[in-house]
């Protein structure tokens, strides 16, 4: 996967949240539009520094705690945060360490993915487990608007973060939540946090790399820095030294293999049809059955095409028989459709299109996932190498944890309406075929003007730009049936790529 310069869509479970303040796509508008103060009374415990019901404060007494929040130290960490919280002195002798608190606004915990994050703030963890603000005593306070339900995430720089399994009661403006009293307080239950003594639950130690997993890279890093002292990610028990007391937590018999249960991905549920292979109820899979589908994504084949993309998506074999072809999915982040210009692209990924129109990842089973922060609204573009690309007419909204969009069931589902895609049959719409050169327009350049002339390809078989119906051959079925005369003059309506069409250069 890859890869616009800005970001990626990922299948990986471990991801990075990039923005300091994240805004949920405003799919619904709250009746409580005015921001309000939310006082958080949170309690968590860290496994590393846990000692007889409280936590040690060695980093504090040794003078190792930094005066500025440390979550900007590792851009690859799940908790990477560039906030400017700082103090002139550590305000309280009971401070254990800095923690990062994140608010997510979602209809359910499963939906509370990174895109639902609305605010973050660094604070201090005291030895009794309470989290306080920079003055060392008062509750952490956020001023924000909650549209759905409020979930809270707590990160520590070398422990696995936790998210509340329950939404916080915000009716009084004071939200208390104690993670330590039951496994069910953390999302993921006993895989989300650890019972350290009977009845007390703590955050799992030893994610020294900050990637949300405890595994070999943590162990390797620890051995690399063994013997160091100070404020160090590898000092798992927070005693100021990377020393033997840290070791059990990175050995196989302790937290090895654990991973954060905080929802980290957002799923895309997309449906689109291609006109060429559409066969009354679904699309044909003849390129697949004849073995013509390439194992590497094909969108690097034409640097002049609108869909030119050099990502590394590759499969060792085509994972299922109902795959029609590769498509390229692109995410744009803009306040409205008309402003979703190429400069708003935040991610691209090549994927497989199934014969029922479903878009899936290269693993052959999962929906596409992405971890981008959408600060405005999410718009989705879909490209095919010889069909005309489409963009969602409206922003894509989150439902049950999935950003779902179906381009197929009405003219208005593609931006631009009935000139953006074609009616295949009643209440069924698909992408225009015949854009052989990928410039977003169907005209003579796709047919008789280009060096790769249709007629010169006539009779060839394989994975070919002029095989508009995707049956594996360039033949008169592509040219002589309704598609070419019907589509000549059509062009993509994707913002930034649309042009005036019907310029007289469109006839056979
Ligand atoms: Ca790790
Ligand atoms: Ca230590
Ligand atoms: Ca074209
Ligand atoms: Ca054909």
CB 424 within 8 A of CB 432: no
Q: Is the pLDDT of residue 451 over 80?
A: no
pLDDT tens per residue, range 258-307: 989 998 777 899 999 999 999 999 999 999 999 999 999 999 999 999 99
The contacts of residue 203 (CB under 8 Å, 6+ apart) are: 44, 45, 46, 47, 154, 156, 159, 160, 161, 162, 179, 193, 194
- Ligand 1 centroid vs 263 CA: distance in angstroms? 16
Q: How many alpha carbons fall within 13 Å on the CB side of residue 4?
A: 19
**pLDDT given for residue 33 in this prediction:** 59
3-state secondary structure 373-426: CCCCEEEEEEEECCEEEEEECCCCEEECCEEEEECCCCHHHECCHHHCCEEEEC
Of 81-95, 209-223, 261-275, 468-482, which gets the smallest average pLDDT? Answer: 468-482
CA angle 107/109/111 to nearest 5° reads 60
Q: Which ligand is nearest to the CA of 460?
A: 4
- pTM of the complete model beyond 0.85: no
- Answer with the residue of higher pLDDT: 2 or 266: 266
- Answer with the residue of higher pLDDT: 183 or 483: 183
CB 370 within 8 A of CB 415: no
Q: How far is CA 107 from the centre of its chain?
A: 18
The mean pLDDT value for 11-31 works out to 35
The mean pLDDT value for 201-222 works out to 93
The residues that bridge with 383 in the sheet, in sequence order, are 328
- Ligand 3 centroid vs 436 CA: distance in angstroms? 5
Residue 338 CB: number of other CB atoms within 10 A? 9
**pLDDT given for residue 171 in this prediction:** 83
Q: Which ligand is nearest to the CA of 243?
A: 2
Residues with CB under 5 A from ligand 3 (ion): 435, 437, 439, 441, 446
Start-end of H helices in 294-380: none
CA 390 – CA 332 distance, rounded (Å): 12
- Ligand 3 centroid vs 327 CA: distance in angstroms? 17
pLDDT tens per residue, range 141-197: 999 999 999 999 999 999 999 999 999 998 888 899 999 999 999 999 999 999 999
**pLDDT given for residue 9 in this prediction:** 52
- Ligand 2 centroid vs 230 CA: distance in angstroms? 9
| Euclidean distance between the first and the last CA atom of the chain, given in angstroms as a whole number | 39
């Amino acid at each position: 996967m890859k890869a616009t310069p800005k970001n990626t869509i990922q299948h990986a479970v471990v991801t990075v949240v990039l923005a300091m303040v994240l805004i949920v796509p405003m799919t619904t508008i709250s009746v409580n539009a005015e921001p309000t103060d939310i006082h958080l009374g949170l309690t968590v415990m860290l496994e590393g520094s846990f000692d007889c019901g409280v936590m040690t404060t060695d980093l504090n007494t040794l003078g190792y705690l930094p005066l500025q929040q440390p979550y900007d130290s590792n851009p690859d960490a799940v908790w990477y945060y560039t906030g400017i919280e700082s103090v002139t002195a550590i305000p309280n002798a009971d401070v254990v360490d800095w923690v990062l608190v994140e608010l997510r606004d979602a209809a359910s915990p499963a939906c509370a993915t990174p895109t639902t994050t609305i605010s973050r703030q660094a604070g201090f963890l005291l030895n009794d487990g309470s989290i306080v603000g920079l003055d060392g005593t008062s509750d952490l306070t956020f001023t924000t608007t909650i549209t759905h339900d409020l979930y809270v995430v707590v990160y520590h720089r070398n422990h696995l973060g936790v998210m509340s399994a329950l939404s916080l009661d915000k009716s009084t403006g004071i939200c208390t939540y104690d993670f330590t009293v039951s496994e069910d307080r953390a999302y993921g239950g006993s895989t989300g946090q650890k019972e350290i003594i009977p009845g007390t639950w703590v955050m799992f130690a030893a994610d020294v790399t900050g990637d949300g997993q405890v595994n070999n890279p943590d162990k390797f890093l620890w051995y690399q820095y063994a013997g160091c002292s100070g404020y160090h990610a590898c000092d798992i028990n927070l005693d100021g030294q990377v020393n033997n007391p840290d070791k059990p937590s990175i050995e196989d018999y302790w937290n090895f293999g654990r991973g954060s249960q905080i929802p980290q991905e957002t799923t895309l549920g997309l449906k689109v049809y291609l006109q060429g292979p559409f066969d009354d109820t679904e699309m044909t899979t003849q390129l697949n059955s004849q073995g013509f589908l390439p194992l590497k994504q094909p969108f690097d084949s034409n640097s002049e095409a609108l869909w030119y993309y050099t990502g590394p998506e590759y499969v060792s074999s085509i994972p299922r028989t109902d795959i029609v072809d590769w498509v390229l999915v692109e995410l744009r982040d803009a306040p409205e459709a008309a402003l979703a210009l190429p400069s708003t692209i935040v991610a691209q990924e090549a994927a497989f299109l199934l014969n029922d129109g479903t878009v899936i990842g290269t693993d052959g089973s999962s929906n596409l996932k992405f971890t981008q922060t959408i600060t405005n609204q999410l718009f989705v573009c879909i490209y095919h190498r010889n069909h005309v690309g489409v963009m969602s007419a409206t922003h894509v909204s989150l439902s049950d944890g999935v950003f779902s969009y179906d381009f197929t069931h009405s003219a208005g589902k593609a931006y631009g309406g009935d000139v953006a895609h074609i009616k295949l049959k009643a209440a069924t719409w698909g992408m225009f075929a015949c854009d052989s050169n990928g410039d977003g327009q169907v005209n003579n350049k796709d047919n008789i003007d280009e060096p790769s002339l249709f007629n010169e390809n006539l009779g060839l078989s394989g994975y070919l730009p002029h095989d508009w119906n995707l049956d594996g051959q360039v033949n008169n079925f592509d040219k002589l049936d309704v598609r070419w005369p019907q589509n000549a003059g059509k062009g993509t309506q994707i913002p930034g790529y649309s042009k005036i069409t019907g310029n007289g250069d469109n006839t056979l």
